[in-house]
Structure 1
Amino acid sequence: MAANYSSTSNRREHVKTTSNPQPGFLERLSETSGGMFVGLMTFLLSFYLIFTNEGRALKTATSLAEGLSLVVTPDSIHSVAPENEGRLVHIIGALRTSKLLSDPNYGVNLPAVKLRRHVEMYQWVETEESREYTEDGQVKTETRYSYNTEWRSEIVNSRNFDREIGHKNPSAMAVESFTATAPFVQIGRFFLSAGLIDKVDNFKPLSLSKLEDPHVDIIRRGDYFYHSENPKYPEVGDLRVSFSYAGLSGDDPDLGPAHVVTVIARQRGDQLLPYSTKSGDTLLLLHHGDFSAEEVFRREQKSNSLKTWGLRAAGWMAMFMGLNLMTRILYTLGDPLIPSALHSTSEQPRRGERPGFAVSQLCHVRALHTRAIPLPASASVTSHLMCSFVKCL
């Protein structure tokens, strides 16, 4: 194993080369046998995914059609109509919370449904690139490891680096990310259930231009608070903090008007709860903006259609991958059946290539067999079938 090292400013890299003998027939057979089992599981999983997706799509479409036929719009959101008790209602209005959300450590106070603190740390990050080649009868792998410093919101464990020395990251952050959520959220007289509050996720960055530095060891630059001696030239372990919010409550001279949403849910008193349909599904919808009931259900039907086709494509892809993995063993089994004279000494099959290298070579040789190596009729037919199978895959 060989290694070379180099460094340029914040970027460092080194290269390692490992050598292994070319895999024999039994080793390749073992690898493809394991792949055949994985392929079978993937193939069966694709059927499960496709059939469950079709059932889900039908149930969702039926529930949406039922909801559209039953939904009612109250005359006012500022009063609770007893005649709508237990019914599916369509409500439009501005979000309102009972108290401010705050982060006293940074002097942030905001009337919103959610306030998110996002913390990033300046850390070493390892990337690797590998290439495989054959030399002197051995399969060699050359891996290039690169190290750069980046702002990351998750801890990068430097113990997993190929070379931790000189690229060590802290094991924890002094400040952590968190999201504060208002306990009570209203539209007029109606209170949103926890499921509806979870759907308020249209986060927008919070400008920090009017805030002061909360502590002497914290510096504000743009829309970040830096835990750093020099934010322009950060060091590994430095932190930066930003804020975002979702669902502005009430009008604000700096942030704009209150956030308006459209909700479709079951009315129970002054609560907006999930509605159970006859097909066994639930309806609890929240869309950002002002939409009619028809538009909400049209958007939901479109979303259901996109999800259905996306899962169908995933199922078909899994089916193709499963078939491909299961049939690769045929290439490996076919290699010993080809006369060794047909193998070029300069073009040996490599690890990572398709195991049927010799089979593909036979496809080329067949066209010349009358002049080069005459093959029996049965061998010619067999090679024709194998070549056709290779082309299909």
Structure 2
Amino acid sequence: MTRPQHSEGIGRDEHVRVTSHRKPGFLDRLSETTGGMLMGLVAFILSFYLLFTNEGRCVRTQRSLDEGLSLVVSLSDIYSPMPHNNRKLVHLSGPLMTMQPLYDPNYGISLHVVKLQRRVEMYQWVEFEDSREYEEGGEKKTETRYSYSTEWRSEVVNSRNFDREIGHKNPSSMAVESFTVVAPSVDLGNFHLSKGLIEKVQTFKRIPLSKFEPPHADIIVLDDYFYHSSSPRSPEVGDVRVSFYYAGLSGQRFFLGRPDVVTIVAHQETNMLGAYQTKAGNILELLYEEQLSATEVFEREHAANAALTWALRFAGWLLMFVGIKLMTRILYTIVDWVPILRDVVSMGLTVFALSVATSLTLLTVAVGWIFYRPLLAVLLVLLATLPILMAKIRDRPKML
């Protein structure tokens, strides 16, 4: 049970609240530990699945990329789709093109781009809290310091959840909503891009709003924002500011520059570019927002695959480490009433979890290699045993 003990003011926008908790008994702590053990067991089992399947995903991706590089056809003319390239994996680069502009009627923004994004922020109260726990009078207490400041936020901050809403009340909604609109049709020369390729255009750039006129008299343009505020330099809670971003510029604009150039590796079907199914099992539908050769595209994909593989290996190890810590925490709970013994057991359990998690992670990865890359695994085993074989040969007694 938790009950507030006292609350004292620390200035207008800061206060401290102290709550008292009944110090849990041994059975309570043991019950909590039992629940943690079940969670730890689940995390421990999931870590093996993640580590093992990650090796398979890595191998499948490598083989798909190698297959793609061996088959890809680079197109020099993006304006004349050739029938003999139908159903092949093709590589091409060039400027993006959209037929119709994307338009925001509320603010008069109209541009030939692949994506147009309106980002809305509202000036609001934000609550921060900092807690510390301590024991006093046989009770466990929590001291929480609450502070408040005003900030521009893109999401509505619900002030009803504040510890002290009086004087820090926010509006319940924004007068203007954020949105992203996507061009229905995007071309590269005379090739049409699939929805999957259009989705990969993700590099958003800020639109300089100083080049546009304010849509209404009560809107002020300042620092590339449209301000719904009477004083943008000294905003009040509830004021709104709007900014715009674009991705994939189509057609030259004197204040934005040249059209964005992309590089695509995808399946050609007449004049459509889309997903290519490899025999290795993966789908290739690649887009980079710069001009690259086919070799550079696949080199980057290999690098991304390696980075993801190591990230998932670390995630699997961490999941296993946490699982072991939770499963063995019952030993800590049993002795936590003895300070010296508690610290020794805690350190020992941490070292144990680190050692076991590291060993089991390496073992699981090794099993994955044997399963998914048997030839390479055998070569590594032979390489590992080579020093032992050489040592035995040297120690063999010479024949008279």
Normalization by structure 2: what TM-score?
0.84
What is the match of residue 341 of structure 2? Answer: 359
1:334, distance to aligned residue in structure 2 (A): 3.7
What is the match of residue 65 of structure 1? Answer: 66
Unaligned 5+ segments in structure 2 are 354-400
Q: Please, which moves more after superposition, 255-264 or 324-333?
A: 324-333
Q: 1:4 aligns with which of 5, 8, 14?
A: 8
What is the match of residue 352 of structure 1? Answer: none
CA spacing shift, 1:274–1:387, aligned 2, 3 Å:
closer
Does residue 194 (structure 1) correspond to residue 198 (structure 2)? The answer is no
1:358, distance to aligned residue in structure 2 (A): 5.0
> Deviation digits for residues 352-390 of structure 1, max 9, x if unmatched?
xxxx745246x6xxxxxxxxxxxxxxxxxxxxx998557
What is the match of residue 307 of structure 1? Answer: 308
What is the match of residue 118 of structure 1? Answer: 119
Using the alignment, how far apart are the partners of 1:386 and 1:217 within structure 2?
63
What is the match of residue 227 of structure 1? Answer: 228
> Deviation digits for residues 212-233 of structure 1, max 9, x if unmatched?
2210121111200011111111
What is the match of residue 342 of structure 1? Answer: none
CA spacing shift, 1:386–1:121, aligned 2, 3 Å:
closer
- Counterpart of 2:211 in 1: which secondary structure? coil
> Deviation digits for residues 124-143 of structure 1, max 9, x if unmatched?
11111100111122211101
What is the match of residue 17 of structure 1? Answer: 18
What is the match of residue 204 of structure 2? Answer: 203
Assess if the C-alpha contact under 8 Å between 2:194 and 2:272 holds in 1.
yes
1:359 partner letter? L
> Deviation digits for residues 280-326 of structure 1, max 9, x if unmatched?
21000001111000000000000010011111111101110110111
CA spacing shift, 1:157–1:313, aligned 2, 3 Å:
same
How do 1:1-393 and structure 2 match up within 5 A?
Answer: 1-7=5-11, 12-334=13-335, 357=339, 359-360=341-342, 392=352
CA spacing shift, 1:209–1:386, aligned 2, 3 Å:
closer
Assess if the C-alpha contact under 8 Å between 1:119 and 1:239 holds in 2.
yes
1:169, distance to aligned residue in structure 2 (A): 1.3
- Counterpart of 1:7 in 2: which secondary structure? coil
1:48, distance to aligned residue in structure 2 (A): 1.8
Q: Please, which moves more after superposition, 161-170 or 256-265?
A: 161-170
- Counterpart of 2:10 in 1: which secondary structure? strand
Using the alignment, how far apart are the partners of 2:227 and 2:63 within structure 1?
52
Assess if the C-alpha contact under 8 Å between 2:207 and 2:244 holds in 1.
yes
- Counterpart of 1:175 in 2: which secondary structure? coil
What is the match of residue 366 of structure 2? Answer: none
- Counterpart of 1:95 in 2: which secondary structure? strand
> Deviation digits for residues 46-92 of structure 1, max 9, x if unmatched?
11221222221111111111100000012311101000000000010
1:279, distance to aligned residue in structure 2 (A): 2.0
Using the alignment, how far apart are the partners of 2:164 and 2:279 within structure 1?
60
What is the match of residue 345 of structure 1? Answer: none
- Counterpart of 2:149 in 1: which secondary structure? strand
> Deviation digits for residues 133-179 of structure 1, max 9, x if unmatched?
11122211101111111111111111222222222211111110111
What is the match of residue 368 of structure 1? Answer: none
> Deviation digits for residues 244-266 of structure 1, max 9, x if unmatched?
11111022211111100000000
1:96, distance to aligned residue in structure 2 (A): 0.5
Using the alignment, how far apart are the partners of 2:297 and 2:155 within structure 1?
37
CA spacing shift, 1:256–1:386, aligned 2, 3 Å:
closer
1:3 partner letter? S
Assess if the C-alpha contact under 8 Å between 2:325 and 2:350 holds in 1.
no
- Counterpart of 2:132 in 1: which secondary structure? strand
1:109, distance to aligned residue in structure 2 (A): 1.4
1:23, distance to aligned residue in structure 2 (A): 2.1
CA spacing shift, 1:94–1:386, aligned 2, 3 Å:
closer
Normalization by structure 1: what TM-score?
0.85
CA spacing shift, 1:3–1:42, aligned 2, 3 Å:
same
**Higher helix share goes to which structure?**
2
The alignment of Structure 1 onto Structure 2 pairs a total of residues equal to: 349
Using the alignment, how far apart are the partners of 1:5 and 1:149 within structure 2?
19
Using the alignment, how far apart are the partners of 2:47 and 2:183 within structure 1?
42
Using the alignment, how far apart are the partners of 1:252 and 1:222 within structure 2?
20
Assess if the C-alpha contact under 8 Å between 2:47 and 2:317 holds in 1.
yes
Using the alignment, how far apart are the partners of 1:268 and 1:7 within structure 2?
69
1:43, distance to aligned residue in structure 2 (A): 1.1
CA spacing shift, 1:386–1:184, aligned 2, 3 Å:
closer
Assess if the C-alpha contact under 8 Å between 1:86 and 1:266 holds in 2.
yes
CA spacing shift, 1:3–1:95, aligned 2, 3 Å:
same
